[in-house]
């Protein structure tokens, strides 16, 4: 089975999703898959997160489902039990990172400073979330923070303030493995059944990300 972070790197974009009802899980998955986006980060910002992950893992195994906003070891355990194939967090908590390593769950903790990054790399972490990307200096800040760690092969997933319009600025950085975005599948669109809109957003994001990654590799 392909490593989930390899799948993320190949696509270049991860939809960050807060979904309120497990009943919407399969229609959401189908909308993403129809848009060519076989990835979903289901955040633990809602009570339905674990149920949604479990339903997706069972009903749509082609979708690489991960857990986001994993703030504690209880959430990490719930994510694993539900079938999450990777996890992310907005910050760095050594207890959560240790638990993910022990469980063998690919995990990207959040970093904002060189100190955060030092702690993460000290644990052997090589994929991190850069959050909140849009309010702490943008791509130039990330480029500067990443430079001293480049020899370690650290890769970043900027999230927070990333949009279809500005994702190219982030993906132009070789240290960026993918961008995370909430615009692809908004909570309100899911709640109100606007799955065709989600499909269109997914397709636009994938097409742009793939073109940017290809251009970066030339």
> Rounded distance, CA 177 to CA 188, Å?
28
> Rounded distance, CA 39 to CA 143, Å?
26
Q: Judge whether 154 and 143 are in contact, CB under 8 Å.
A: no
How many of the other CB atoms lie within 10 Å of CB of 123? 15
Q: Is 130 helix (H, G, I), strand (E, B) or coil?
A: strand
Active-site residues: which are they?
Answer: 41, 129
> Rounded distance, CA 216 to CA 153, Å?
17
Q: 3-state SS of 5-45? A: HHHHHHHCEEEEECCCCHHHHHHHHHHHHHCCCCEEEEECC
> Rounded distance, CA 37 to CA 11, Å?
8
């Amino acid at each position: 089975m392909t490593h989930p972070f390899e799948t993320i790197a190949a696509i270049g974009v991860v939809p960050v999703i807060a979904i309120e009802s497990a009943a919407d899980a399969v229609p959401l998955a189908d909308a993403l898959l129809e848009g060519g986006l076989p990835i979903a980060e289901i955040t633990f910002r809602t009570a339905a997160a674990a149920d949604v992950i479990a339903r997706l893992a069972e009903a749509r195994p082609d979708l690489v489902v991960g857990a986001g906003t994993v703030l504690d070891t209880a959430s990490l355990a719930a994510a694993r039990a539900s079938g999450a194939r990777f996890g992310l967090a907005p910050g760095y908590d050594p207890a959560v990172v240790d638990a993910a390593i022990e469980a063998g769950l690919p995990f990207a903790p959040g970093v904002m400073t060189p100190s955060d990054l030092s702690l993460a790399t000290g644990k052997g972490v090589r994929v991190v979330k850069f959050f909140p990307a849009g309010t702490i200096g943008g791509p130039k800040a990330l480029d500067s923070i990443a430079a001293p760690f480049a020899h370690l092969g650290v890769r970043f997933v900027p999230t927070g303030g990333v949009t279809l319009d500005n994702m190219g600025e982030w993906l132009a950085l070789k240290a960026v493995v993918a961008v995370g975005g909430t615009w692809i599948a908004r909570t309100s669109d899911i709640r109100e059944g606007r799955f065709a809109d989600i499909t269109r957003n997914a397709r636009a994001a994938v097409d742009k990300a793939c073109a940017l990654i290809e251009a970066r590799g030339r």
